[in-house]
Structure 1
Amino acid sequence: LGARLAALAARVVGDLGVVRCQVAPAYPPEYGALGVYARGYHLALAQQVSALARRPLDVPEMYLLLDWHSNAYPREVLGHPEVGALLRAQELGPLLPPETQRHLESTCIAAVKAKVEVAVAQELQLSEDRWPEDVTSQDMEEGLATRVTGLLRAHLDRAPQVTPEFGREMAHCLLGVLVAFLHSFQRKVERFLDTPGDLPTPPEGIAGRAIALANLCPPLRELAERLAQSGHPESEGRRREASVALERVTRTCGHLLTRRLLEELKPHFARLMKRKWPSSSDAFDAIVVLVTGFGQSLRALHPEPHQVLVSELHRRVLLAYVRPLLQGRQLCPSAKARARLAARLGEEGRQLRELFSRLDSASPWLDSVVPRLRELLVLEDTAALQMEVGALARDFPDVR
């Protein structure tokens, strides 16, 4: 097809060059021989191109024909230094009628959609088959994320070279393909991680898979953002769909990673707010050690999922820490007892703040709940105490 289109362009340029130099001078100027020949050649070329557009074409051929019609013909024929001005002067219009061009573009987009849908589904299945194996995060990214991104970017980069409008429609279509892929990816991740007991993999291995799967989200999110930047009026809704699916994947991975830690923390939290707590830091020290070690295990996470997971862990740990106090587990019969309890809260609140600061938590506002509880303990005025309790419940509804 490419050779035929090049030959047609060369024939038009060559023949009209001969007409201009040798044939047209034989006619009286009023005959407008150059215009007659130019219109005739344009009509013949338009018929040839329309016939090609009606043929069954594969995706590369449709790209080629659309690009030749929109770019190569205007550049190589209409822009030719000898015959281009002659053709432009006749105001001949496009070779393909607008409806034919739109039909060819729609056909190309539909063919690309069908082809890419099958390809990304195959890539996801191949990747899923390897999840129970000992696959590193880098292997998974270079596998699934890289190949899916490559499949979509090939068309995302190619289509705008035809026309910007065609590029926008193609990007919007590819974003729809990506959204469907991400929904399928989300379901497969949830099914895989929700049944870890069915897999012949030790808990540490499952945690590694969760980290690897969470690390797939940033490059896929970046791809969705780029596809949504095409300017299509309906792209924002699809971009939000993609974001929601990726957020659910990240949360699912984070839930599995933190579930085991929270189980290990339970007996230590149970020892807090009891009679020996103000005079012994053993339980709290154990909590800090476990959370610190867990934070070190998250170093393989990319910044985006790491931030989501650490922020949620920050919330869960503080909730587990303050809830026993709000439930009245620790009784303070005297002002001296309340002062001792407040001092303990102040010290441990500082350590929790420093701990989650080292883990790069994106929710530092959570750290204020412990100091505010400490302030409540030393309040003597009943009305002020009631007001502060109400404000605390409003600002931190989870602690109730």
Structure 2
Amino acid sequence: MLKMMTFFQGLPGQQPVPGALDFPRSHQKLPSTSEVDSEASMSEASSEDLVPPLEAEVALGRDEEETVKKKKKKPKGLANMFSVFTKGRKKKGHPSSSEPEGKTESQPGPGGPLPTVEELKADLERGRLEAARPLLALERELQAAAEAGGMAEEELVRRQSKVEALYVLLRDQVLGLLRRPLEAPPERLRQALAVLAEQEREDQCVVSTAPRSSALEAMRPRHWLQLWRRDVARAAEERLATHAEGRSEAEGGSEAERVFLHMGRTMKEDLEAVVERLKPLFPAEFGVVAAYAQSYHEYFAAQLMAMAQFELCERDTYMLLVWVQNLYPNDIINSPKLVGELQEVRLGSLLPPNQIRRLEATFLSNEVTSVKELMARALELESQRWTQDVAPQRLDGHCHSELAIDIIQIISQGQAKAESITLDLGMQIKHMLLMELAAFLRSYQRAFDEFLERCKQLRNYRANVIANINNCLSFRTSMEQKWQAPQDLLRPLSELKSHGFDALLQNLFRDLKPLFKRFTQTRWAAPEQTLEEIITTVGIRLPEFSELHDCFREELMELVHLHLVKEYIIRLSKRRLVLKSAEQQQQLAGHILANANVIQCFCTQNGSPGTWLHQALPTLAEIIRLQDPSAIKIEVATYATSYPDFSKGHLSAILAIKGNLSNSEVKSIRSILDVNTGVHKPTKSLFSLIKVG
């Protein structure tokens, strides 16, 4: 719904457009001064000017009425027109409306004489609209006399001027009531509408008949209906161009926003009043709803078009589009009380399509630029906190950064603004914002890599690394669920997370390296004790990762699991251990199986989801234990299926432990990998991380 709003006098430097709301048919000129002069001259004319002498003698006398009228300040346009409806109370009518209704003294009886000019003038000055019919009769009688001839042309013109002066009085009475229709009593309004309808019918009759030769000046069609429509247009302009005093400061927003909020609310409320109060009283052929709606629409459109010619700021460009594409058609034209009435009016858009497209292109450019700048600023502030060694926030026991929330909010607001104009514009900007997001994520990764490289000695280094890894969850969840972003766009997040894990695990893996060397340095003597020390070292360091989100802590534990298996295989592949007896090979296989079980249990208990690593060491132990080359081939083939990156080089390094195999047997066993080469691509790397020489 529309909000409360201020009123509008016009954009700075903008002049009102004369006649901008006049209807195309409104060509009737304003009453001339000659008409006013002719009215003044009526007081000098006698009843014989227009009425035959006999009728003048028998004309009914009139009781003189003395009317005391209090002068009122004339309201401007429709400024007070809708107050009766909106405030729920009826105002008093004009002094003329207080005249008693019914048959006036100037109304002739059936077959009776017509009233005199003086009598009609007196009735019209008292606001008695019943004088319209005898006045029309006088007009017709004068026209008949002119066509019959026998009367001097000068006399005809003089009498016609009297009639036209009376019509000026009648027109002012009728249109005066219609300018403020909700202030007039319903019966008075119906009288005015009846007179207007009768005059319109008389106009049409004159237009439809062939021109008649006459000394009288053609005064029809009078176009009172067009004059009424012109007054409606003026009233609409006054209503929409009037400020509400004292609201501008309270409501806030730009001047343009206050302007259009005021016009929107005023148009909606006024048209609802027209539909509810005036439509039941006006003849259907007048199209009262269409007349008001078109007048309001044309003035509204003129204001928007005038504003659109200027170089607008971002806020006003957005505001214009919201009004043209959303608020005006949805909240006003298609509002519940108006939609049924305005469907046939077909008011159209407030701006032409080419102007709308230009504004939309400007909006998209402005919004994308703004989003880009806001995201860059957010990253700059975040990276400053890293380098200044500011500790990250803690949220639910996890290191937390607001960067992801800020970025998601920035791009979401950008799309929401576009969608508040049209859904189509929202889809257009979505693709543009995703491109900007991809560029931002690359910048984010570069800034994070620079921090990892340069700030290792800072006290809060590890906490900020964890906070940024945790950021990836918010980014990825929002991008995948709400934005359906492609995985390629999210690749910088994967790189950032991987580099963060490397930084967190760097010290641990460095400490484990000399421990793993003991396997080969001691020629695999007491491997259980060596592995126990390795596991103890890892266990001591695990609490350092507790502030990671659970999903990342599990992922990191899988990396530890991989590292333990990988380093164990590297030590087996060093070719420094050659066992020629089957017993020795079976003993080593037993040690490997026991160690594999310890690694698997420890990593699984600490959250590693790396089940794919469970068979890496036990199968190698089985290859070392087996003595039959055919059985070894079967085991190798199965192993290559589980680990497609297991190469002949890796196999040769393991077979080197089995000192009792001949070269031909080794060659035969190695050939089994030729069958499987290229059949499977590894989803996760193990042996590709292990170099053998």
Are residue 270 (structure 1) and residue 517 (structure 2) matched? yes
1:381 paired residue number = 628
In structure 2, the gaps of 5 or more residues are 1-255, 646-685
Q: 1:284 aligns with which of 518, 531, 534?
A: 531
Q: Go from structure 1 to structure 2 and tell me whether the alpha carbon gap of 1:333 and 1:274 turns closer, same or farther (over 3 Å shift).
A: farther
Aligned partners of 1:38 and 1:86 also within 8 Å: no
Q: 1:66 aligns with which of 318, 321, 339?
A: 321
Cα distance per residue 1:94-140 (max 9 Å; x no partner):
32334433332332222122122222212212221221344334267
Aligned partners of 1:174 and 1:227 also within 8 Å: no
Letter in 2 for 1:368: Q
Are residue 294 (structure 1) and residue 294 (structure 2) matched? no
How is 1:323-342 mapped onto 2 (pairs within 5 angstroms)?
A: 323-342=570-589
2:419 paired residue number = 160
Letter in 1 for 2:633: Q
Q: Go from structure 1 to structure 2 and tell me whether the alpha carbon gap of 1:142 and 1:60 turns closer, same or farther (over 3 Å shift).
A: farther
Q: How many residues get paired?
A: 387
1:194 paired residue number = 453
1:102 paired residue number = 357
Report the TM-score when normalising by structure 1: 0.84
Letter in 2 for 1:146: I
Aligned partners of 2:449 and 2:496 also within 8 Å: yes
Deviation for aligned residue 1:44: 3.4
How is 1:1-400 mapped onto 2 (pairs within 5 angstroms)?
A: 1-13=256-268, 16=271, 29-30=284-285, 32=287, 34-35=289-290, 37-80=292-335, 83-138=338-393, 141-196=400-455, 200-201=457-458, 205-226=460-481, 228-229=483-484, 236=485, 239-273=486-520, 277-393=524-640, 395-396=642-643, 397=645, 398-399=686-687
Report the TM-score when normalising by structure 2: 0.51
Aligned partners of 2:401 and 2:467 also within 8 Å: no
Cα distance per residue 1:24-59 (max 9 Å; x no partner):
9677x5565654554444333333233334443334
TM-align CA RMSD: 3.0
Deviation for aligned residue 1:22: 5.6
* SS at 2:626 equivalent: coil
Aligned partners of 1:211 and 1:301 also within 8 Å: yes
Q: Go from structure 1 to structure 2 and tell me whether the alpha carbon gap of 1:368 and 1:44 turns closer, same or farther (over 3 Å shift).
A: same
Aligned partners of 1:211 and 1:253 also within 8 Å: yes
Letter in 2 for 1:169: Q
Give the distance between the partners of 2:451 and 2:415, measured in 1 at CA: 31
Give the distance between the partners of 1:4 and 1:350, measured in 2 at CA: 77
Give the distance between the partners of 1:94 and 1:287, measured in 2 at CA: 75
- Counting aligned pairs with the same residue, the percent is 26
Aligned partners of 1:278 and 1:344 also within 8 Å: no
Q: Go from structure 1 to structure 2 and tell me whether the alpha carbon gap of 1:102 and 1:26 turns closer, same or farther (over 3 Å shift).
A: same
* SS at 1:90 equivalent: coil
Which of the two has higher C-alpha Rg? 2
Give the distance between the partners of 1:219 and 1:172, measured in 2 at CA: 20
Deviation for aligned residue 1:10: 4.1
Aligned partners of 1:178 and 1:224 also within 8 Å: no
More helix by share: 1
Give the distance between the partners of 2:526 and 2:273, measured in 1 at CA: 105
Letter in 1 for 2:458: T
Letter in 1 for 2:410: L
Aligned partners of 2:389 and 2:461 also within 8 Å: no
Give the distance between the partners of 1:14 and 1:267, measured in 2 at CA: 84
Give the distance between the partners of 2:365 and 2:622, measured in 1 at CA: 64
